[in-house]
Amino acid sequence: MPEPRTFSEQDPIRVFLLDDHEVVRRGITDLLEAEPDISVVGDADTVQHALARGPALRPHVAVLDVRLPDGDGISVCRELRDQMPDLACLMLTSFDDEDALLDAIMAGASGYVLKQIKGSDLVSAVRTVASGQSMLDPATTARLMRSLRADPADTPTMPAELASLSPRERDILALIGDGLTNREIGKKLYLSEKTVKNHISRLLAKLGVQRRVQAAVLASHLDQPESGDRTAR
């Protein structure tokens, strides 16, 4: 288990902020910049701007609004983490949305907090995820996963759909269930990221689902081999 990363005034937490409201961005920036061990290295107000600017700034933490005019922060989380696997994403939203929480978990977010959070608690959340810890409550996450499994609309008949998958698609589905990004799956299975995306598109169609999080739930029904057994085929 790696040691939690520590930061200081000389080596501060580098934070990137995405929110479409200027007042919110300024308020969060002022709040975080008041802390000696935190530095806001940049911000964005759209998905396009965030994806263009974020990677070049090499932040340790990205604070991402979930709902945006041109998309959503969850897709930004997934894309940024594909490029920067060590990035900790803290999702910030005005709404307590179970679907968004599940999607954030599967995108690899380290935390999910409401905008009603106290300023001191937001600062603590940034420090927590920067150190490599999670701000996702395990009990809430487990409850949401159980409720999703129990929803017939989200859980197709298991045997037929899973039986239709090729061995490679089963490997990829199991790794989706482990929370890996497309890039991480590609490295593990010695595949290009584009090939992984193509496999995922096909397996989603075979499973009769549209979202990655639904496929992750189905992955729990696989007899998953040990990671060392998932060799390239």
* φ/ψ bin of 71: left (φ > 0), alpha (ψ from -120 to 50), beta (otherwise): left
Residues contacting residue 229 through CB under 8 Å, at least 6 positions apart: none
Q: Give the model's pLDDT for residue 97.
A: 66
In the structure encoding, which two tokens stand for residue 130, read together? 């920067």
- In whole numbers, what is the pLDDT of the chain averaged over residues? 81
d(CA 138, CA 7): 26
Note the CATH architecture for domain 13-144. Answer: 3-Layer(aba) Sandwich (3.40)
What would the pLDDT profile of 26-76 be if each residue is shown by its tens digit?
A: 999 999 999 999 999 999 999 999 999 999 999 999 999 998 888 889 899
Compute how many other C-beta atoms are within 10 angstroms of the C-beta atom of residue 84: 17
Per-domain boundaries in the chain: 13-144, 151-229
Highest mean pLDDT among 5-9, 48-52, 129-133, 165-169: 48-52
What would the pLDDT profile of 2-37 be if each residue is shown by its tens digit?
A: 566 788 888 999 999 999 999 999 999 999 999 999
Note the CATH architecture for domain 151-229. Answer: Orthogonal Bundle (1.10)
> pTM for this one?
0.64
